[in-house]
């Protein structure tokens, strides 16, 4: 099985995996999984570059768009889907695109990955433009759908990047703004990139989206303050954030959150500035959504009667 792609090579540690006991198989998988975090760590600078590109796109009114096929596509869609409940984002600003469309999330549609034109068409339907950042995800580095999408996104003016788990050819670095390549090595089951490569992909996407959201002021300390209450779990979390940050009791936290229409950051701004929800939202807008950039209470930036005077 000769193949230059690292993800397609045979792992010498698992050549007799079918002869092992169940416990030995589990222990072998675990030993291989232990290599993943270090491989991702080696790509810290590239990951940070991707996070900055994502944050810049989002601040400029653009989008972070993940594009992939199979496991890679599903992981991109998963990361995108987790942004609204975690950080209160509009579902339209972090998007996951998968070859084969939504049905490929639950059922394999492997043939769809071979069509670069379909990838290009997906970018056109999303009206990708100069304000966007498109990140292709292709463990093997060769998925035609992903390359077709990125090429078209680039033509449309978007910043582009690619995440792969095999040594990238020089042409990729020339073509894109960032290349992320955690080298996780051959899989326990040859070519099964849902394993180490998939784990590495999840770690990288976690880092990109988390860092981008922090840069955008959606985290204060280590608390997800752009949380919006949409269920009992998030109501409890929002109340606990207010209790811990403001030193108030559960009842007062609930009242603040109700007045802020379930938005934790607005409630924090109300308390800090001593104003109502409308003025707190205006102050946050002027501060770019960053709590640390709010004017100090009593300064000229906070107008009489709770209004906010001037800008940043």
Angle between helices 232-246 and 264-273 (to 10 degrees): 30
259 is catalytic: no
Q: How far apart are alpha carbons 223 and 103 in whole angstroms?
A: 35
Active site residue 113: yes
Classified as helix, coil or strand, 183 is coil
Establish how many alpha carbons lie within 13 A of residue 273's alpha carbon, considering only the half-sphere containing its beta carbon: 33
Catalytic residue among 82, 151, 255, 259: 82
128: left (phi over 0), alpha (psi -120 to 50) or beta: beta
Question: 186-223: b or e for each residue (b if 16 or more CB lie within 10 Å)?
Answer: bbbebbebbbbbbbbbbbbbebbbbbbbbbbbbbbeeb
Beta strands in 119-165 (DSSP E): 133-137, 159-163
Given the residues 8, 32, 43, 113, the one annotated as active site: 113
Q: Which residues are catalytic?
A: 82, 113
């Amino acid at each position: 099985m000769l193949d230059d792609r690292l993800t397609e090579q045979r792992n010498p540690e698992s050549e007799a995996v079918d002869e092992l006991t169940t416990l030995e198989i589990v222990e072998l998988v675990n030993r291989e999984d232990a290599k993943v975090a270090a491989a991702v760590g080696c790509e810290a600078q590239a990951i940070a570059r991707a996070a900055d590109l994502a944050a810049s796109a989002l601040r400029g009114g653009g989008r972070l768009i993940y594009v992939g096929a199979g496991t890679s596509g599903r992981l991109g869609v998963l990361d995108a889907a987790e942004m609204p409940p975690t950080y209160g984002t509009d579902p339209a600003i972090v998007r996951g695109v998968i070859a084969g469309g939504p049905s490929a999330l639950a059922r394999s549609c492997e043939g769809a990955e071979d069509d670069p034109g379909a990838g290009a068409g997906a970018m056109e339907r999303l009206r990708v433009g100069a304000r966007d950042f498109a990140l292709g995800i292709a463990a093997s580095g060769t998925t035609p759908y992903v390359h077709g999408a990125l090429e078209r996104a680039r033509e449309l003016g978007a910043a582009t990047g690619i995440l792969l788990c095999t040594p990238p050819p020089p042409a990729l670095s020339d073509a894109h703004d960032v290349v992320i390549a955690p080298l996780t090595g051959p899989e326990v089951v040859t070519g099964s990139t849902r394993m180490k490569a998939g784990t590495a992909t999840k770690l990288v996407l976690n880092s990109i989206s988390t860092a981008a959201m922090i840069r955008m002021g959606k985290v204060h300390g280590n608390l997800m303050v752009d949380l919006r209450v949409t269920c009992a779990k998030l109501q409890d979390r929002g109340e606990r954030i207010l209790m811990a940050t403001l030193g108030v009791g559960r009842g007062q936290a609930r009242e603040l959150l109700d007045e802020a229409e379930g938005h934790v950051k607005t409630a924090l701004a109300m308390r800090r500035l001593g104003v109502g929800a409308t003025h707190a939202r205006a102050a946050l807008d002027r501060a770019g959504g960053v709590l640390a950039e709010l004017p100090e209470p009593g300064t000229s930036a906070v107008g009489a009667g709770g209004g906010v005077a001037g800008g940043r």
